[in-house]
Chain A
């Protein structure tokens, strides 16, 4: 189990700290995807700090650990911030994002940092990897779960649906997908660019057990994920309704911020907003 369990009161301070980490890292690097990272802060908080995932940060290759696969690899700053705050590596490493000779890569590369399970950044690939983990656990007598975080735009990739089909074929009930359903992809709103709806019905038709949740309510995310963990047969999917850029009003308001770091002036404003909201 998690070495340190956090209580309800701490989640807001964790989500605030993660957002500040993301902001500082990407502003310092002058590039990255802060809005995509902000969007999934509560989801990742639920996984690492809400008692959903079991892991040992001092033993990153512990064979019994639950796996977290960041299939939307461009939210790497969020992953790194969470891993450092979970104790995988010193917080000061975050300053090295996107720098020469640093393991803190722009997108995650397997084993470059403790706790980074897979190489991601080309969208659509993580669910297959998570399914392979679950099948491998079955073969080696381990009962861990694999959690795969995907973007909504990412679901336009065909491989996602190959994996969806295979997961229910293999009755991979220990595979849990999470969609960060923020309704935006890079070039605009999903329903304008390449519509996904009816999203829930699609996953159900592929044989998945689907739950939906307000994706910024940490407690609700935790309870839905706990429910999916108990599913005896089907792979589970959590559709988390989120806001891209959550926590910074002017980023929330404009999808043009996708893949852009904030200027120092914008960052100062953002820092104020994030700090004051708790």
Chain B
């Protein structure tokens, strides 16, 4: 599996390595950054900080509720805690603790949910975060960020620390290609990035699906269809202005996400578009199912999360658009 191959994207790095490097560079810059780990630092790569700054690194053990509470206590002393684990373990084990101590308290805490989506692959559904974005969606004060490439992961980690308040960062385990140049990319919380221009329809994606959307757009271009591709790296606050402009300009939208369709990115984009400028929409994502454990590439095919699925959805959306006009 090589995401972004069709679109000619350069191969990147495993996102957890990128996260670990970004967190380490942030910890070097900012002495207030502390890291809490739920005994997964070697998987999330948060442990890069452990080696450099052992006094600012706490392995709380396999106790996510306690991890969140301790993080909140540290925050109350003016520190900036990064709570790190798999997104499924943090959100499913410690939802109420995050709700009270982070979200309701408007605490300046950053949460890394690693191994989001299904592409952790062979460890199977107990480890996967297919509902994480819906769960954090239930916390009204939480900024929600999804990383789509190595460059933006650096920006997200540093940007989250500059923002005062609760932030959730979702990452996936896989190698993500470079969507942006290696040294820089635009990143403002709440401001979506147009990563490819086009006026026939808009593909709105987050996480690994941005690369697949670019693959799909390359194939569509060969058919003479010019798709605009949006990297929606911030799910809260939603970039209403850009989303509505895309709906207005292109008249058809496909949403693609590595998440359940129920309560995910597409559902929230659809609400916004339906409210202000309805256009035909189609959705690529998990349809009310858990997955099995297998190679990530096989899972993406089986559960219809590939560039081919995006192309299919694009044709459907374009057909619907034609019927209207």
Contacts of A140 in B (CB 8 A): 77-79
Q: Is A133 an interface residue (CB 8 A)?
A: yes
Q: Count A-side interface residues using an 8 Å CB cutoff.
A: 36
CA distance A63 to B105 in the complex (A): 18
Contacts of B58 in A (CB 8 A): 135
Q: Is A35 an interface residue (CB 8 A)?
A: no
Provided the pairs A125-B101, A129-B72 are in contact, do residues A162 and B77 lie with their beta carbons within 8 angstroms? no
Contacts of B66 in A (CB 8 A): 128, 131, 159, 162-163, 166
Q: Is the CB of A121 within 8 A of B100?
A: yes
Contacts of A81 in B (CB 8 A): none
Q: Is the CB of A129 within 8 A of B70?
A: yes
Q: Is the CB of B73 within 8 A of A162?
A: no
Q: Is the CB of B69 within 8 A of A125?
A: yes
Contacts of A162 in B (CB 8 A): 61, 63, 65-66
- Name A154-179 residues within 8 Å CB distance of B: 158-159, 162-163, 165-166, 169
B interface secondary structure, majority: helix
Q: Residue on A with the closest CB to B102?
A: A119
Contacts of B68 in A (CB 8 A): 128
Contacts of B105 in A (CB 8 A): 109-111, 118-119
A-B contact count (CB 8 A): 112
Best-surrounded residue of B34, B65, B67 (most CB of chain A within 10 A): B65
Q: Is B221 an interface residue (CB 8 A)?
A: no
- Name A115-144 residues within 8 Å CB distance of B: 117-122, 124-137, 139-140, 142
Contacts of A163 in B (CB 8 A): 66, 69-70
Q: Digitize A200-214: 1 where CB-to-B-CB distance is under 8 Å, 0 elsewhere.
A: 000000000000000
Give the Cβ gap from B138 to chain A, nearest Cβ, in Å: 15
Q: Count B-side interface residues using an 8 Å CB cutoff.
A: 31
Q: Is A261 an interface residue (CB 8 A)?
A: no
Q: Digitize A83-117: 1 where CB-to-B-CB distance is under 8 Å, 0 elsewhere.
A: 00000000000000000000000000111000001
Q: Is B249 an interface residue (CB 8 A)?
A: no
Which of A120, A130, A158 is the one whose CB lies under 8 Å from B100?
Answer: A120
Q: Is the CB of A159 within 8 A of B77?
A: no
Which of A109, A118, A131 is the one whose CB lies under 8 Å from B70?
Answer: A131
Q: Is A146 an interface residue (CB 8 A)?
A: yes
CA distance A26 to B318 in the complex (A): 61
Q: Is the CB of B73 within 8 A of A130?
A: yes
Q: Is B76 an interface residue (CB 8 A)?
A: yes
- Name B67-89 residues within 8 Å CB distance of A: 67-79
Q: Is B97 an interface residue (CB 8 A)?
A: yes
Q: Residue on B with the closest CB to A136?
A: B77
Contacts of A118 in B (CB 8 A): 72-73, 76, 101, 105
Best-surrounded residue of B65, B72, B76, B78 (most CB of chain A within 10 A): B76
Q: Would you mind naming 15 contact pairs between A and B with Cβ atoms under 8 Å apart? A: A63-B77, A63-B78, A110-B105, A118-B72, A118-B73, A121-B100, A125-B65, A128-B72, A129-B69, A129-B101, A137-B77, A146-B73, A159-B63, A159-B97, A162-B61
**Chain A interface (Cβ < 8 Å from any Cβ of B):** 63, 67, 109-111, 117-122, 124-137, 139-140, 142, 146, 158-159, 162-163, 165-166, 169
Beyond known contacts A125-B69, A127-B69, A129-B73: 17 more, CB 8 A cutoff = A109-B105, A110-B106, A118-B105, A119-B100, A122-B100, A125-B65, A129-B76, A131-B69, A133-B76, A134-B73, A135-B58, A136-B75, A159-B97, A162-B61, A162-B63, A163-B70, A166-B63
Q: When A and B form their complex, which 9 residue pairs have the shortest distance between CB atoms, in order from nearest?
A: A132-B73, A128-B69, A136-B77, A162-B66, A132-B70, A162-B63, A110-B105, A133-B73, A136-B74
